[in-house]
Structure 1
Amino acid sequence: MRICKYIFTCVLVVYISNLYGQSKIKCDLIEITNKAFDKNPTIKRSSYTIQDAEADLQVQKGTFDINLFSEISAKKDRYTLFNADPRNQFIDKVLKSNTVGLSAGLRKKLRSGQTTDISFNYGFNDNNFPFDAFNQPVGPFWGNHTTSVNLSLTQPLLKGRGRSITTTSERISSLYIENSKNNNEFTNSYEILQVGLAYWNYYTAFKSLEIYRQNEGRVRNVLDITKELVKADKKPAGDLAQVNADLANQEKLTTMAEQNLYEARINLGRAIGLNNEESQQLDIPLNEFPTIAESAYRDGLDKNAFIEVAKEKRGDVKAVEKISEALEMQYKLAENNKKPQLDLTGFVYYGSASAGNGIDKAFTAFTNNEGRNIGAGARLTFSFPVNNNWARGNYTKSEIALRDQKVSNDNLQRNIDLNISNAINNLNNRVIILEKAKEALNYYQEAFSNEQIKFQTGLTTILNLILFQERLTSSELEYLQAYQQFANAIIGFRHETGTLISQDNNGFTVDQKAFYTIPNTDNY
């Protein structure tokens, strides 16, 4: 019976352990950033702008679609003749006629600027008057068939002339697609930056809780030592009150640290794009802070070299280049639209006619020699709005947009220069702060250890011991925060230079070295 209970307990423990392991989300930098690419709402929305831009290009391509058109009509007409009309002697007062019309064709605008139009037309009509147009007696409702084929080519001479103008909107849309892709890249870099910052904050909160718990353990150890010293009459009993008060304070700080860890976990999940339940399933952080040695940090970082890297790699820089090019094209198009519309159209046509009833007469109408009509010609059309406010207004708006973009581009470059300078200076200072924080921590650890020995031998007071203990805890926390700021400086530097994320045929990826090393200007 005991063996069965033991086996059952073991199976239950294994099951619960597996269930617990499955419910946890591995908190590894690469895994959570890959998850962010799939779940972060800002990243997902940013990708929709690319699809929207691609749809705009499809709309512009519609300008050059082949347009099919057709029409069919039928009409019955009943016309009451005047009493003096000589046709009254042949028909009963009312002239009855039937008309059928059929047309079909296609129209296409070419990218070279011309518009082609080809159409086929067929018409049939008859009436109850027994004579034809030549006064021949043919009987009532004798059919007349006409057919024609028309081909025309229209060439703009002023407004809309040339491939460079005709395809402008299409090429602008292509540039907006590139602009959207580059902006999407920079947006993704920013969101991954937020994930990185949130991770280091989570890691700091996790380690801070460990420090508070260790400190709480040190206080409990001091309490035990004090109790033993009081029993041995080496310390007054009043020292116990001081240590108990310090212990209560440390327990409060530990609880606050637990709350900070909870908030840091939720905020990391928020940055990734997880919901509340998923955020709470984030496991302990697996990646430790980068060290100064592995970061490839060195004195005298060349600001200008990193600025050149940023110009080459940052998505927003590449995006504004595309938008500037698009606005330049828009400006030229608006300038062309100020011109009058002057179109030259050349056309040829072929037609024929036949008379008689029967389907065969409808088909022979196109090939019948009698009534054949062949011709060619040209026409020149001119149109121009007198005030031309629409074109003039759009031209002014395009000119202003171009100037505004120039200011925006210069401002972006200015901010890149400032941000790179600030990032380098920040990194330099974070390295110094981290080194000094480590130095201070070493001294405080040594001082606290010495103070513990002095306390046990009665050479110092409990207040001094508590003071050194608090200084040690503060030093540990400051060292941890200095490490966090150093790690933040690295990924911030990566983002500013456009080297935080990369892209291949499979999408965006993040190399772990982006969280641990500064960019190497020799590789760009």
Structure 2
Amino acid sequence: MPRVQPGKHSGRYGSARKHSRALWLAAALFLPAVPLQAQDAAEQGISLLGSVRTGLTYAPAVQSERREVLKSEASLTEARSTYDPSLTLSSGYRKDAGLAESGSNRHTLSSSLALSQRLPSGITLAPTLSLVRRSTNLEGTTAETEGSAGMSIVVPLSRGLGSRNLSRATRNAARQSLEAEQEQLVATLATSAYRTASAYWDYVYACSQLDLAHLLTQSARHQLNATRVLAEADQIARLMVEQADAYLQQSRASELSAALALEERWHALLLAMGQDPADYPVPAKPSDDFPVPENDFPAGLPSLETLRRAALRNRSDLRSEALATAAAATTLEGYRNEQKPDVSLTLWGGYGGTSAGDEVGDYFTALNHNIPGTSLSASLSWAIEGGNRANQAAFQTRLAMLEQRRIEEAALQRSVGSGVATALSSVRNAAALYRLNLVSAEAYGRLKEGEMKKFRMGLSDIFNLQTASNNLASADLQLLAAKKAFAQAILDLRMATGSLVEVTDGSVRLTSANLVSLPTEEEGRP
């Protein structure tokens, strides 16, 4: 495993605290709300893992994607509702005046119960029960009740039959779309972690840059004081005092610019975390510093092909695209089925019975009394749509959508290998730059100390001292930029290989190691 030395911030913004606890995001859907407290942040500082965790909870992109998952769940529920049974219960009363032979009124009471169940195969089952009682108000007559029970079966013979009918395809596509959105949520969580961590490193860089500017201002002030002492002793010209004072003012201006950059980076970090900068006017102390490569780097760094295979295995955005393409293909098959002729066979079987009597029980006994036998019927229907243009247009639309999905999926797959190669090169390049700039900064530090001693002894002038100070400041900034580049390169490689967050059994796991260490061959999904 390639070794990376984690950093601890030790400038004017305080010491670091270790954060080794893991963050578990149950089912990749809901995170525990951990709001950032303004007073705590200002007093205790802000960590890399804490910033990322807050961003995973409150970042607008994450919250929006969670809503997309809920919408996909609702779409799946709606698609499944096609196969929900439909129960209809009806009853009615009718009075016909003077229709009976005696001129009396006829009373008709009817009740029916119908159930309709559509099966995934496209077949519809519809059992029914009905009762009709007729009576008159003439004395000596008895109410008569007719009852019937039956079952109708509607079998589509072409359109709507089989595993590829539109309703079934819509349901299956909705399930695939939900899985795609769940994978996209994981990808969005990784993107949020990447953006927040990048904003955190920008903020750490701004803090360190302000520290360097402050040290340069202090050095310029010491140079001015030393120049005044030498000028009062008539060892150097008083013009040198003006030169030293001008150098001090220039250093102070650089410090003011660094302070403004710090405020800008603080606001950018808060926005990445989903927070309002107005609620946190005082920048917090960063408690984590840049990770740096150890001396044996890049020993143990996985090969490019290994990292490419890991990316194809781990990337949630790739999985999401593949599932979305599969959903589009499933939907297309449903619309292909809709282009077939609309031919259906309806089968019915049932019986009828009668009963006489005015009691309540006599009303229901018609279903099992005086049954002469069973009735059967069959009918064939064929609906002809002139031109069938609507179904053809719908099919062409879904075909174009599927082709678009395939183009996007192929483009993403092609970019994976290139992204991994670029990120791996960035890691190696940033590590090499760090080592070179570290040697340079140490050398310029020794030169500046030697020049300061010579100046105090009157063996050098203010120009040489200022040149040495500027060279050291430039080397320190280059070293700081190299540290930031290495930290950013780690994030880039983690993002490119899909190992910034870990997915295990439907849960997303994030630790500080995912943010500051290089990926290994074993990491990621099995």
Task: Tell me the SS of whatever aligns to 1:233.
Answer: coil
Counterpart residue number, 2:334: 333
CA distance, structure 1, for counterparts of residue 383 and residue 377 of structure 2: 20
Counterpart residue number, 2:15: none
Structure 2: gaps spanning 5 or more residues: 1-37
Residue among 103, 120, 140 paired with 1:111: 120
State the shift of 1:504 in Å: 4.2
Counterpart contact for 1:297–1:517, Cα < 8 Å: no
Counterpart contact for 1:490–1:515, Cα < 8 Å: yes
Task: Tell me the SS of whatever aligns to 1:331.
Answer: helix
Relative to the length of structure 1, the TM-score reads 0.86
User: Structure 1 stretch 67-76 or stretch 299-308: which is displaced more?
Assistant: 299-308
Query: Which ranges of 4 or more aligned residues in structure 1 deviate by more than 6 Å?
Result: none
How many residue pairs align between the two structures? Answer: 486
For residues 77-116 of structure 1, what are the structure 2 equivalents within 5 Å?
A: 77-78=96-97, 90-91=102-103, 96-116=105-125
- Summarize the Cα distance change of 1:200–1:295 in structure 2 as closer, same or farther, 3 Å threshold: farther
Counterpart contact for 1:105–1:118, Cα < 8 Å: yes
Structure 1: gaps spanning 5 or more residues: 1-18, 82-86, 131-137
1:306 aligns with 2:315: no
Counterpart residue number, 1:7: none
1:179 aligns with 2:180: yes
Counterpart residue number, 1:272: 273
Task: Tell me the SS of whatever aligns to 2:294.
Answer: coil
1:452 aligns with 2:452: yes
Relative to the length of structure 2, the TM-score reads 0.86
CA distance, structure 2, for counterparts of residue 233 and residue 208 of structure 1: 37
Counterpart residue number, 2:61: 42
Counterpart residue number, 1:520: 520
Counterpart residue number, 2:478: 478
- Summarize the Cα distance change of 1:44–1:127 in structure 2 as closer, same or farther, 3 Å threshold: same
- Summarize the Cα distance change of 1:417–1:506 in structure 2 as closer, same or farther, 3 Å threshold: closer
State the shift of 1:329 in Å: 1.3
State the shift of 1:340 in Å: 1.2
**Aligned AA for 1:64?**
Y
CA distance, structure 2, for counterparts of residue 97 and residue 204 of structure 1: 95
Report sequence identity in percent.
Answer: 21
Counterpart contact for 1:294–1:517, Cα < 8 Å: no
**Whose RCO is larger (CA < 8 A, sep 6+)?**
2
Q: CA deviation digits over 1:271-301, x for unaligned, max 9?
A: 1112225544663111121111289535996
Counterpart residue number, 1:406: 406
Counterpart residue number, 1:134: none
State the shift of 1:25 in Å: 5.9
Counterpart residue number, 1:238: 239
State the shift of 1:484 in Å: 0.6
Task: Tell me the SS of whatever aligns to 1:365.
Answer: helix
For residues 112-511 of structure 1, what are the structure 2 equivalents within 5 Å?
A: 112-127=121-136, 143-165=143-165, 167-280=168-281, 283-293=284-294, 297-298=298-299, 302-369=303-370, 372=372, 374-504=374-504, 507-511=507-511
User: Structure 1 stretch 109-118 or stretch 178-187: which is displaced more?
Assistant: 109-118
State the shift of 1:143 in Å: 2.9
CA distance, structure 1, for counterparts of residue 64 and residue 263 of structure 2: 28
CA distance, structure 1, for counterparts of residue 273 and residue 256 of structure 2: 26
User: Structure 1 stretch 288-297 or stretch 106-115: which is displaced more?
Assistant: 288-297
Counterpart contact for 1:268–1:279, Cα < 8 Å: no
Task: Tell me the SS of whatever aligns to 1:385.
Answer: coil
Q: CA deviation digits over 1:196-234, x for unaligned, max 9?
A: 111111111111111111111111111111111112110
CA distance, structure 1, for counterparts of residue 398 and residue 412 of structure 2: 21
State the shift of 1:153 in Å: 2.0
- Summarize the Cα distance change of 1:25–1:461 in structure 2 as closer, same or farther, 3 Å threshold: closer
CA distance, structure 1, for counterparts of residue 89 and residue 408 of structure 2: 50
State the shift of 1:20 in Å: 5.5
State the shift of 1:368 in Å: 2.9
Q: CA deviation digits over 1:296-342, x for unaligned, max 9?
A: 53599632222211110011111111112112211211111111122
User: Structure 1 stretch 183-192 or stretch 158-167: which is displaced more?
Assistant: 158-167
CA distance, structure 2, for counterparts of residue 56 and residue 295 of structure 1: 53
User: Structure 1 stretch 54-63 or stretch 390-399: which is displaced more?
Assistant: 390-399
Task: Tell me the SS of whatever aligns to 1:349.
Answer: strand
Counterpart residue number, 2:90: 71
CA distance, structure 2, for counterparts of residue 286 and residue 96 of structure 1: 94
Q: Which has the larger radius of gyration?
A: 1
State the shift of 1:505 in Å: 5.9
- Summarize the Cα distance change of 1:296–1:339 in structure 2 as closer, same or farther, 3 Å threshold: farther
Task: Tell me the SS of whatever aligns to 2:288.
Answer: coil
- Summarize the Cα distance change of 1:172–1:282 in structure 2 as closer, same or farther, 3 Å threshold: farther
- Summarize the Cα distance change of 1:291–1:227 in structure 2 as closer, same or farther, 3 Å threshold: same
CA distance, structure 2, for counterparts of residue 294 and residue 516 of structure 1: 17
Counterpart contact for 2:47–2:287, Cα < 8 Å: yes
Q: CA deviation digits over 1:54-99, x for unaligned, max 9?
A: 1111111111111111222222234699xxxxx6xx43xxx64332
Counterpart residue number, 1:10: none
CA distance, structure 2, for counterparts of residue 20 and residue 67 of structure 1: 59
User: In proportion to residue count, which structure has more helix?
Assistant: 1
**Aligned AA for 1:43?**
V
Counterpart contact for 1:101–1:122, Cα < 8 Å: yes
- Summarize the Cα distance change of 1:159–1:124 in structure 2 as closer, same or farther, 3 Å threshold: same
CA distance, structure 2, for counterparts of residue 258 and residue 25 of structure 1: 20
CA distance, structure 2, for counterparts of residue 400 and residue 506 of structure 1: 33
Counterpart contact for 2:114–2:128, Cα < 8 Å: yes
**Aligned AA for 1:423?**
A
CA distance, structure 1, for counterparts of residue 430 and residue 334 of structure 2: 52
CA distance, structure 2, for counterparts of residue 278 and residue 295 of structure 1: 44
CA distance, structure 2, for counterparts of residue 523 and residue 515 of structure 1: 13
**Aligned AA for 1:122?**
L
Counterpart contact for 2:121–2:162, Cα < 8 Å: yes
**Aligned AA for 2:294?**
A
- Summarize the Cα distance change of 1:295–1:522 in structure 2 as closer, same or farther, 3 Å threshold: farther
State the shift of 1:420 in Å: 1.8
CA distance, structure 1, for counterparts of residue 523 and residue 297 of structure 2: 14
Task: Tell me the SS of whatever aligns to 1:27.
Answer: coil
CA distance, structure 1, for counterparts of residue 366 and residue 262 of structure 2: 90
